[in-house]
């Protein structure tokens, strides 16, 4: 929510037992637009527009949206996140649409979802529900339409010395999801994921 934060103290050694701390903050502008152009060897020329609003609908909702156009791929995405409530819960909604035409195969993919996350100390949990639909049209082949409604649960524990530049500690992560043909899905499946990551410092 801030573009600049400055923390200052009086460097006088005589007052080192109780140094007054001065904090100066500059609030970030609520709206931002970013434009970009580029070129890649696999998708050719591209252009992109990103829009962010940190006070969407005057309710402190965080809106992020983007439109990306490439020669072989086009996509549009948007997400809305609430700020954490008094219990540390954040609610997020998202939608993504993507179309590709690569090597004679056309695909159209749509995805919508909602996630509720909670952070307490070193532990973060997420519970979400996502619906995804994909249509494939191969040149000279049979069209296919697949879809899945997937509940997803994620648990993560970060026991590290620094969130941005960790040098010591570990991260543990578990994730479970699945789908049923009785609930807007083409197949029954169960998905699981586990990760354990360690850091050891080589010196001071």
Task: Quote the pLDDT of residue 100.
Answer: 94
What are 86-110's pLDDT values in tens digits?
A: 999 999 999 999 999 988 899 999 9
List the beta bridge partners of residue 74.
Answer: 69, 99
Q: What is the DSSP letter of 60?
A: T
What are 110-156's pLDDT values in tens digits?
A: 999 999 999 998 999 999 999 999 999 998 889 999 999 999 999 99
CA atoms within 13 A on the CB side of 91: 5
pTM, 2 dp? 0.78
Task: Quote the pLDDT of residue 145.
Answer: 94
At 10, the pLDDT band (50, 70, 90 cuts) reads: confident
Residues of the chain above pLDDT 70, percent: 100
State the chain's mean pLDDT as an integer. 94
What are 54-69's pLDDT values in tens digits?
A: 999 999 899 999 999 9
Tokens of 201: 């410092």
* Exposure string for 113-150, b = 16+ CB within 10 A, e = fewer: bebebeeeeeebbbebebbbbeebeeeeeeeeeeebbb
Task: Quote the pLDDT of residue 103.
Answer: 85
Task: Quote the pLDDT of residue 169.
Answer: 96
At 17, the pLDDT band (50, 70, 90 cuts) reads: confident
Strand ranges across the sheet with 89-102: 31-40, 44-56, 61-70, 73-81, 89-102, 105-120, 123-138, 144-160, 169-179, 189-199
């Amino acid at each position: 929510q801030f573009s600049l934060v400055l923390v200052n103290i009086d460097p006088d050694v005589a007052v080192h037992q109780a140094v007054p701390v001065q904090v100066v903050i500059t609030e970030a502008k609520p709206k931002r637009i970013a434009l970009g152009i580029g070129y890649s060897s696999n998708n050719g020329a591209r252009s992109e527009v990103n829009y962010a609003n940190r006070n969407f609908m005057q309710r402190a909702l965080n809106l992020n949206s983007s439109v990306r156009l490439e020669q072989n791929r086009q996509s549009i995405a948007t997400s809305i996140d609430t700020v954490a409530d008094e219990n540390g819960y954040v609610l997020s909604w998202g939608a993504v649409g993507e179309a590709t035409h690569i090597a004679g195969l056309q695909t159209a993919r749509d995805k919508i979802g909602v996630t509720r996350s909670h952070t307490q100390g070193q532990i973060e949990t997420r519970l979400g529900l996502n619906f995804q639909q994909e249509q494939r049209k191969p040149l000279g082949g049979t069209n296919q339409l697949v879809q899945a409604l997937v509940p997803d649960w994620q648990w993560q524990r970060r026991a590290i010395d620094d969130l941005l530049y960790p040098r010591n500690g570990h991260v543990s992560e578990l994730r479970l999801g699945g789908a049923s043909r009785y609930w807007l899905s083409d197949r029954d499946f169960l998905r699981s994921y586990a990760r354990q990551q360690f850091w050891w410092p080589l010196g001071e």
